[in-house]
Amino acid sequence: MDTSGDSTLTICETGANDPEFLMTKTPLLILRKKAKDAVFATALETHGNFDAPIETTHGIYSRIQSVKTVYSDDTTYVVEITTAEKSYLFGVSLENKEHSVKAGGKELKWTGYSTLVSV
């Protein structure tokens, strides 16, 4: 997480005005960055399985190791998602056309709004 320059990192908890503390508290970080252009990328990963009859869990830890923006311009963005096994490039654009960009040391070509390739 880059906190250089004009940026701040705030440690928070989600919740509402709950004087009885009945709601679940979830810790979070908020990165505020002063910039003309900024791209924030994240990945949602479903993981974990609870087996009720034997009261065990399986696969509860995330496999994603990193998420980073490797290319961006006015209309096109490429994000690299890395797991222990492999890496993926996810390209997304605001324009439905042919795209060709250099991202993450690779040339990525696709037609349409988005693509996902294993690298």
Q: What is the pTM of this model?
A: 0.68
One DSSP character per residue, 74-91 reads SSEEEEEEEESS-EEEEE
Token pair for residue 76? 């096109």
Paired tokens of 97: 């056309």
The closest of 95, 81, 60 to 103, measured between CA atoms, is: 81
Distance spanning both ends of the chain, measured CA to CA: 23
The per-residue b/e assignment along 46-61, b for 16 or more CB within 10 angstroms, e otherwise, is: eeeeeeeeeeeeeeee
Output the tens digit of pLDDT for each of the chain's 119 residues. Answer: 555 567 888 898 877 677 776 777 778 888 887 777 778 888 888 777 888 888 888 878 888 999 999 999 999 999 999 998 999 999 999 999 999 999 878 899 999 999 999 98
Domain locations in the chain? 7-118
